[in-house]
Amino acid sequence: MNSYGKLFRGHSEKNNQLLLRSYDPVKEKYFEVIKEARNEGLKQVIINSEIMTDILYATLNSDGLILKVNMSDNTDDDIKENVKAIIRKLKSDKLIFVKLKEELEWAADSGSIDINSIDIYISNKKYEIHSNGIIHGDDLDSIFDKIMKPVLEKYFYGK
């Protein structure tokens, strides 16, 4: 069953936690999910391009595949095509990730959200990860524990 989740984090000195809350866009309004979490003292996680790049690297390190990197509309078409070409080559040579990281470096350096979303395949499951902190796929707890949480802990808390 495909499901959705939204990433949140505690934002007090004592509450350095990361959470993945289930989210059903058919039954719940996005802003209500955010509002409810804020009332509980949580902040939504926005996944900037630097975090996206780290998620891509963690996926490859966990024997996963990068299926697609969706760039913002403002991104130069040449860069979009280069990224697509590199991703095709990644399936047979994971060392090419260095070239992908170089191609995306301008976005990661700016702290931007120029990477709108990524599609990855890991543990025989496909996931979509969006810059607004929404994850879509099967068995979201698995991707959260294996990939998302370690990357986000390092980014936010230096763990």
pLDDT in tens, 89-104: 888 888 888 888 888 8
Residues 6+ apart with CB under 8 A from 117: 70, 128, 129, 130, 131
Are 120 and 69 in a shared domain? yes
- By the 10 Å C-beta count (0-12 exposed, 13-18 middle, 19+ buried), 19 is classed as middle
The encoded tokens of residue 69 equal 């990197």
Are 61 and 122 in a shared domain? yes
Contact of 90 with 109, CB cutoff 8 Å: no
Number of domains in the chain: 2
* pLDDT at residue 12, as a whole number: 61
Are 115 and 142 in a shared domain? no
Are 118 and 68 in a shared domain? yes
Rounded Cα gap, residues 128 and 59, in angstroms: 12
Are 68 and 42 in a shared domain? no
* pLDDT at residue 9, as a whole number: 92
Rounded Cα gap, residues 57 and 59, in angstroms: 5
Condensed to tens digits (0 to 9), the pLDDT of residues 55-82 reads 999 999 999 999 999 998 888 888 889 9
- Over range 102-125, report the average pLDDT: 85
* pLDDT at residue 69, as a whole number: 94
The encoded tokens of residue 57 equal 């690297």
Domain hosting 27: range is 3-47+130-157
Task: Answer with the residue of higher pLDDT: 2 or 118.
Answer: 118
Are 116 and 142 in a shared domain? no
Residues 6+ apart with CB under 8 A from 84: none
